[in-house]
Amino acid sequence: MAAALLEGKDITVTFGRGAEAFDAVHVANVAVHAGEAVGIVGESGSGKTTLARVLVGLQRPTAGEVWLEGERIFTRRHQQMPRSERWKTQIIFQDPYSSLNPRMRVWQAVAEAVQVWQSLSKPEAKLEALQLLHAMGISDDQAQQFPKALSGGQRQRVSVARALAPGPKVLIADEPTSSIDQSAQAQLLNLLRQLQTARGLAIIFISHDLGLVRYLTSRVYVMQKGDIVETGDTRLILEQPEHSYTRLLIDSIPGR
């Protein structure tokens, strides 16, 4: 297999000091290749979001390294990921409302990101923003609204458009379906699959919902209390889990 596009090597994140110190992430190794969708699953508090924040450059690791396109770009010694690399990895957050400025119209929120990353004029940024929103299924009328006027699913698609503004190579989706209804979940998952296919986008999909992970991803990492306890082909792991924690997660699926 070709070299990984994005890779976290031996990532550890420790919070607290002395006797109160604990590892939110402990020596985790993850990788995603161009055009691949991988999942990270586990209960709340398992370290999924902390690991995602390290991979996207929002959280410094206590130990370990982040590599992008074969180059080491982020370690404990760096105050932040270099701007020349930050555009390549973008994140969609769990709450589609709090991640958007409620005082900005939808198109403005996306155009702002376009201007920051593409250095376009305001008219050019607006046009690019509207094109991104159209691709996400947001109409011109909806683009003129404030976020509160849209449904949760629509707001999350706006968040995807904003994340795509820099033209990233990796998209990290951190529990993006947890606050939207099932119909909107299906629409968002189909949108992510289309982006993966059409743009060759690498996707890291973080969720506690194993059904969604099975639908979208080809490989999965299972996290428990900061440790990656099992990894491999998604279908194989969900059908023939080896670790007791993975079996527990599968057995807890309602109606299984």
* CATH number, domain with residue 238: 3.40.50.300
Burial of 141 (0-12, 13-18, 19+ CB in 10 A): exposed
Q: For 121-144, write each residue's pLDDT tens digit.
A: 899 999 999 999 999 899 999 999
* pLDDT tops 60 at residue 1: no
How far, CA to CA in Å, does 115 sit from each of 57, 119, 124, 160, 178?
Answer: 20, 5, 9, 16, 30
3-state SS assignment for residue 130: helix
Q: Please report the pLDDT score of residue 10 as a whole number.
A: 97
Residue 220 lies in a domain: yes
Residue 192 lies in a domain: no
Q: pLDDT-derived band of residue 255, with 50, 70 and 90 as boundaries? A: low
Rounded distance between C-alpha atoms, residue 225 and residue 50, angstroms: 11
Check the CA dihedral 86-89-94-95 and report its sign.
positive
Residue 196 lies in a domain: no
Q: Please report the pLDDT score of residue 155 as a whole number.
A: 92
Residue 168 lies in a domain: no
What is the number of structural domains in the chain? 1
Q: Please report the pLDDT score of residue 181 as a whole number.
A: 83
Q: Please report the pLDDT score of residue 118 as a whole number.
A: 85
Q: Please report the pLDDT score of residue 254 as a whole number.
A: 65
Q: pLDDT-derived band of residue 79, with 50, 70 and 90 as boundaries? A: low
In percent, the amount of the chain with pLDDT more than 90 equals: 66
Residue 134 lies in a domain: no
Mean pLDDT over 240-248 rounds to 93
Task: Output the average pLDDT for the chain.
Answer: 91
Q: pLDDT-derived band of residue 164, with 50, 70 and 90 as boundaries? A: very high
Residue 136 lies in a domain: no
* pLDDT tops 90 at residue 146: yes
Q: For 17-65, write each residue's pLDDT tens digit.
A: 888 999 999 999 999 999 999 999 999 889 999 999 999 989 999 999 9
Structure tokens at 143: 């683009």
Residue 107 lies in a domain: no
* pLDDT tops 80 at residue 213: yes
Sheet holding 22-32, edge to edge: 22-32, 6-15, 63-68, 71-75
Amino acid at site 176? P
Instruction: Give the residue numbers spanning the domain of 234.
Output: 1-88+202-256
Sheet holding 202-207, edge to edge: 89-92, 170-174, 202-207, 37-41, 219-224, 227-233
Residue 101 lies in a domain: no
3-state SS assignment for residue 154: helix
